[in-house]
Amino acid sequence: MRIALMQQTARPLALEHNIDLIDDAAAQARSQGAQLLLTPELFGFGYVPEMIRAQVSPKQVEAARSRLLSIARERGIALVWSLPGTEAPDQRGITAELADDHGELLASYQKVQLFGPEERAAFLPGDQPPPVIHWRGRRLGLLVCYDVEFPEMVRAAAVRGAELLMVPTALAGDEASVPGILLPARAVENGITLAYANHCGTEGGLIFDGRSVVLGPAGQPLGQLGAEPGLLVVDLPELSEGPGAATADYLQDRRAELHRGWL
């Protein structure tokens, strides 16, 4: 499977401009043979939780979703996006959704681990485990940004069978330890491939790191970007090309019934 990750700078609340960037990326990804495009957290409206809370209506979110479903259908590419929920501003979370290349919605997820006071003031946390769906011979899971830094969240996707975890993100502040240490560890300890698509540039007063990356089941980078806008296109290894005997099978070996009583 060939996948693509979009790394761009969104303009706060400039929905048409930001979705046009996704549309351009979808066209470019499809022309390069990608079957799926992953886009960053809250990209349609930009990573501006407070402004979203105050100014984005459920109608605008619905319009964004409908446009993104059309892009998946018209460009013929599966699409993972992240938007506010469609509920009232005081009832919604941060979501990630997956549509197939016919524009059919396959999975929805609400971010469980909100990050910082601004997100917590603007959104409600989800309380459901990550969805895992079977598509084109792969089992795909969804998480959002801060979720992926928690071993429990990635483990929840892995025990539900996820082989490929798609993570829209908004990582700012030069947190090199996240793509450099935490993400490879999450991939290795669960034997899964992890795709992490970030904003880049300055948005809403934050400087985003970029550094979007795809990591294989042994934590090896299969592709990565720097700090500039770009489209990362990666051919995923066939599932038979496992992480290799050298890697311990943590998922298989873990004594979950024992650990559960300790945590």
26 near ligand 9EE (CB under 6 A):
no
**Residues 223 and 197 sit within 8 Å (Cβ to Cβ):** no
**Residues 15 and 56 sit within 8 Å (Cβ to Cβ):** no
H or E stretch covering 142: strand 138-142
Strands 138-142 and 200-203: unpaired
Under rule CB under 6 A, which residues in 161-180 are in contact with ligand 9EE?
170-171, 173, 175, 178
User: Which letter does DSSP use for residue 148 in this model?
Assistant: G
146 near ligand 9EE (CB under 6 A):
yes
Alpha helices by DSSP H, the chain: 15-31, 49-55, 58-75, 116-122, 151-159, 177, 183-190, 250-253, 256-262
**Cβ distance to ligand 9EE smaller for residue 62 or 175:** 175
- Residues binding ligand 9EE: what is the number (CB under 6 A)? 10
Under rule CB under 6 A, which residues in 197-236 are in contact with ligand 9EE?
none
- Which segment (62-70, 71-79, 141-149, 249-257) binds ligand 9EE by CB under 6 A? 141-149
State the nearest-atom distance from the C-beta of 180 to ligand 9EE, in Å.
Answer: 12
State the nearest-atom distance from the C-beta of 41 to ligand 9EE, in Å.
Answer: 6
Q: Which chain residues interact with ligand 9EE by CB under 6 A?
A: 41, 115, 145-146, 149, 170-171, 173, 175, 178
